[in-house]
């Protein structure tokens, strides 16, 4: 069992899948932190049936806030690495292990998964085009050169965990994350990963409108600075 990384899993209304997904992660990793972000369903009860540490937001604050809460708790654990991992089962534990090997051997601050360097299954042509546009926009505003700007699978070291300090509470945190890589001069590398969009994850995923809103919010933030 891998014991030098904390797996941080934000969850909102994932009651039908969260127990199975957490049990799979807990079987491979010692430190698993699930942040139940004010879910109105039985996410909390199902998550607490596993050995994961479950932190509960009283209100739904957003994915960014849930990840920041998870990072702050994980910093109290005896780990050197931190991983953000989606609750809906679209990420692969094999990819996490490969990313841990990469961060240790290449000695970078953060390893970012890229579905466009790897494989993405069951993605609609429209969503793929919008994600590609998001990559272009993120690179233009952040100065980074990424192939996948909003991938939720990331592995980073304690220095990043201590200094990232996410302020965007919702999905916009993904854009903030890339901007802070540039601003804080974190060293980074992208590695291929696989994302599988099931019927469940497609139904749960953020809408195309949300993706557009992220871009608009990012642009407005640039203009007012």
pLDDT score of 212: 52
| pTM of the complete model beyond 0.85 | no
Q: If 0-12 CB within 10 Å is exposed, 13-18 middle and 19+ buried, where does residue 102 land? A: middle
The DSSP bridge partners found for residue 190 are 112
Are 7 and 85 in contact by the 8 Å Cβ rule? The answer is yes
Helix (H, G, I), strand (E, B), or coil: what is residue 1? coil
Domain residue spans of the chain: 2-224
Distances (CA, A) of 140 to 64, 144, 147: 22, 8, 12
Q: Report d(CA 210, CA 205) in Å as an integer.
A: 10
Q: 2-224 belongs to which CATH class? A: alpha beta
Q: Report d(CA 44, CA 128) in Å as an integer.
A: 32
pLDDT, mean of each 10-residue run, the chain (225 residues): 95 93 96 97 96 96 93 97 91 92 95 79 64 64 74 93 85 80 92 73 53 50 47
pLDDT score of 208: 47
């Amino acid at each position: 069992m891998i014991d030098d990384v904390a797996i941080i899993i934000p969850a909102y209304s994932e009651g039908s899948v969260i127990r199975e997904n957490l049990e799979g992660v807990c079987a491979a990793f010692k430190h698993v932190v699930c942040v139940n972000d004010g879910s109105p369903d039985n996410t909390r009860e199902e998550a607490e049936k596993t050995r994961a540490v479950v932190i509960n937001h009283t209100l739904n604050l957003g994915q960014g806030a849930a990840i920041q809460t998870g990072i702050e708790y994980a910093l109290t654990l005896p780990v050197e690495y931190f991983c953000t991992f989606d609750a809906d089962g679209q990420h692969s534990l094999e990819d996490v292990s490969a990313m841990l090997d990469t961060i240790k051997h290449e000695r970078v601050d953060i390893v970012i998964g890229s579905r466009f360097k790897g494989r993405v299954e069951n993605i609609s042509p429209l969503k793929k085009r919008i994600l590609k546009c998001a990559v272009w926009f993120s690179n233009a505003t952040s100065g980074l050169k990424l192939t996948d700007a909003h991938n939720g699978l990331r592995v980073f070291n304690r220095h990043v965990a201590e200094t990232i300090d996410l302020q965007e509470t919702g999905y916009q945190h993904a854009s903030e994350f890339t901007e802070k890589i540039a601003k804080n001069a974190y060293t980074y590398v992208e590695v291929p990963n696989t994302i599988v969009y099931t019927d469940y994850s497609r139904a749960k995923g953020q809408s195309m409108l949300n993706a557009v809103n992220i871009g608009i919010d990012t642009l407005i933030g640039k203009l007012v600075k």
